[in-house]
Chains A and B, each alone.
Chain A
Amino acid sequence: MILTGSKIKEEVKNGNITIKPFSFGQVNPNSYNYRLGSTLKIFEKFDGSKSFFKEIKIPEKGYILEPQKMYLATTKEIIGSLQYAMSLIGRSSMGRYGLFLQCSANLGHTTSKHKWTLEIVAAIPIKLYPGMIIGQVSFWRNFGSVKKYKGRYGFLNHPQESFAPLSKQKNYDTNRK
């Protein structure tokens, strides 16, 4: 079951959902509108096993994304929940401009809590401003007992590129303790 906007407000009050900073004006009928943080990572090169990104502050006057390029950013808000699973997506007004806010990894694990990394791809050139309302996050009830998230991404607050090449290391699983 997906939480309605009224339920999201209630659970923020009860502490079962964290959204910081939280603004009532950003609550939708069944999601919450999040803002874009001010840090952007721009893909630069791939060395055969790892991608390298350049980090910039998004200027107040805006930054133009080029199409078919990959960028990483974060939500301005710290978002998480001990009780609900999350789905973080773009808002329809940005989708209507062809802006991807994630690359098919919308699912947020129950018990993770952080500024989410956004995987941004623009279908057409578009200017982004720091702090603009850019996407939405919905909250979903769980069915079954919750096992605490122990991944490496769910507590980070800066745009984090993939750790994936580490998976080749033989102790990969111990990284997830």
Chain B
Amino acid sequence: MSVEASGGTTGAPSSSHRLGLLDSITAFSIDEGYAEASRRRATPETTAEPRRPSPGVTGLLVVAIFGLLLAIAAVQNSRNAVSAATDREDLVAQIRARSAAVAATRDRIQSTSAEVALLESQFFAATSEGQSVTDRLTRLGVSTGSLPVEGPGVRVVVDDAPNAATAQQEVLDKDLQKLVNGLWEAGAEAIAINGQRLTNLSAIRHAGSAITVNYRSLARPYVVTVIGDPDSIPARFVETDHGGEWLDLQATFGLQYEMTSEESLTVPAATRLDLRHATTDQTPDQAPR
């Protein structure tokens, strides 16, 4: 106890009962084992001069272990710090890379948008070309009869004379031909007789007792639907030769003839439109011999 007191800073008391926690920590900061060991050593040789015991091999070993621990902890700590720093640098690099990728993608979006706009304008140009082709096709279809058309026009209803006795009092195929030719001359754009569209190959013929158009027999009365200018066609029809003949027929033989202007008429497409001899340039091999 005296030995410990000589080394203690606060003079360690024999008991720690009255001490506070912090006081007891400082009072017994040195292991009490040292004091006891020294007391045990001192007992056999009470009057021996106090020699200074120095650490032996075990002490050396323990101190070496301590140094090892110290070094390992320091190394580990610095290693962790390094790895943390590299982690942060990795993250920063990743952020930069991703930002660059985003910027690149944005650029690509812009260039792609420009490309889309260019292609769109090219597409419009292409379709305007296609539009003109379609327009031409439509015009040709209207004149050839491959397309149904509607529009203003006149409706001509012709029929035999009432109580017709002779053939001259009936509407003949050549009468209808005259009528149609006069209407074409008057500016008709599309003509149908009783729903039969007149094409450039249509024939108006007498077959037996009936008139056939497009090889279909027609029944009286003959309704001729004409698409064209409803204001000018009646006047111009009368001025043509065929129109004059029709007026003569009406006056002489009593054929019924009535022309009315219509706001909206529809003319159907021709049922069949065959090319018998003509071929296009693209298929010369299939041309018939």
Chain A complexes with chain B: no
Interface, chain B (partner A; CB < 8 A): none
Interface, chain A (partner B; CB < 8 A): none
